[in-house]
């Protein structure tokens, strides 16, 4: 995707993520106070100020668009164009000085994700994609791996505690027993590894749409696939996903759901 072919919407999304980065990095490395939200996750002033910066930047260019954001909630969701925002994906990492956090910005057109931006400032990884135009990392096109052997594949898992608490630990162990390597890179970075061919799958439980809306476009435009555990398309209510290099997707889904299969 040449720079002059990028849509105005994507240009603004990238601009908004860079402006948010300045806000976020002004807090990074300091003693950061946080508050606990109703869902027991933390929020900091960096989250709130970065989100405000993103919404203002987008609204100044697209005043009729709606928003669904982690901290501000719903704004004009009846509009055809909805921006889904997570100002800091990995707030717990951010608070502890762990570099694996990002800013996620997606645009949904009439219910379908059409672009995504994923910016990890401390990893120097700015990813973006638009439907039909491919995925890019720091302006270079990226693709998922071509691995077709599940026994040679590497996967990254979300927090095991979530699989345990939702009684899905045996499901994920069905996959763990079959693959070559299992790691837990956490939050956005695992998806960055997937979309650049550095692992074959990411499996997560207890997520929200703002965690995956942007990265879902990037995954699919890089040649991958992302669905719920049962293979259904992701949506606003999605709470769990399997993302993969597409070639192995059905194998991962079948293994995950093996315990749920009924005997003939």
What ranges do the domains of the chain cover?
A: 3-142, 150-260
Does residue 261 surpass a pLDDT of 90?
no
pTM of the model: 0.94
Does residue 39 surpass a pLDDT of 80?
no
CATH number for the region 150-260 comes to: 3.40.190.80
Residues recorded for the chain: 264
Task: Report how far Cα 259 is from the mean position of its chain's Cα atoms.
Answer: 27
pLDDT band of 33, cuts 50, 70, 90: confident
Distance separating alpha carbons of residues 44 and 29, to the nearest angstrom: 13
Q: What is the DSSP string of 13-68?
A: HHHHHHHHHHHHHHHTTS---EEE-TTS-EEEHHHHHHHHHHHHHHHHH-TT-EEE
Closest CA to 198 of 166, 222, 229: 222
- Architecture (CATH level 2) of domain 3-142: 2-Layer Sandwich (3.30)
pLDDT tens by residue, 187-210: 899 999 999 999 999 999 999 999
Does residue 2 surpass a pLDDT of 80?
no
pLDDT attached to residue 72:
83
Distance separating alpha carbons of residues 99 and 262, to the nearest angstrom: 44
Q: Please, which residues bridge with residue 85 across strands?
A: 69, 105
Mean pLDDT of the chain: 93
Lowest mean pLDDT among 52-56, 59-63, 70-74, 109-113: 70-74
């Amino acid at each position: 995707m040449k720079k002059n072919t990028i849509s105005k919407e994507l240009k603004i999304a990238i601009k908004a993520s860079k402006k948010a980065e300045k806000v976020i990095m002004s807090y990074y490395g300091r003693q950061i106070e946080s508050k606990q939200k109703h869902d027991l996750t933390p929020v900091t002033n960096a989250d709130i100020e970065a989100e405000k910066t993103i919404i203002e930047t987008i609204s100044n260019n697209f005043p009729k668009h709606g928003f669904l954001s982690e901290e501000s909630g719903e704004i004009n969701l009846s509009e055809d164009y909805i921006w889904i925002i997570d100002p800091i994906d990995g707030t717990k990492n951010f608070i502890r000085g762990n570099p694996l956090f990002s800013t996620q910005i997606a645009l949904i057109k009439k219910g379908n994700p059409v672009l995504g931006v994923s910016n990890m400032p401390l990893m120097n990884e700015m990813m973006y994609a638009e439907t039909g135009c491919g995925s890019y990392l720091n302006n270079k096109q990226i693709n998922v791996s071509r691995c077709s052997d599940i026994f040679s594949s590497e996967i990254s898992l979300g927090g095991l505690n979530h699989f345990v608490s939702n009684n899905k630990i045996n499901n994920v162990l069905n996959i763990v027993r079959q693959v070559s390597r299992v790691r837990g890179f956490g939050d956005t970075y695992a998806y960055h590894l997937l979309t650049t061919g550095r692992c074959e799958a990411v499996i997560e439980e207890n997520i929200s749409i703002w965690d995956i809306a942007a990265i879902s476009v990037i995954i699919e435009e890089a040649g991958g696939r992302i669905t719920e555990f049962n293979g259904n398309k992701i949506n606003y209510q999605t709470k769990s996903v399997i993302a993969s290099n597409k070639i192995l997707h059905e194998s991962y889904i079948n293994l995950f759901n093996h315990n749920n299969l009924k005997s003939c």
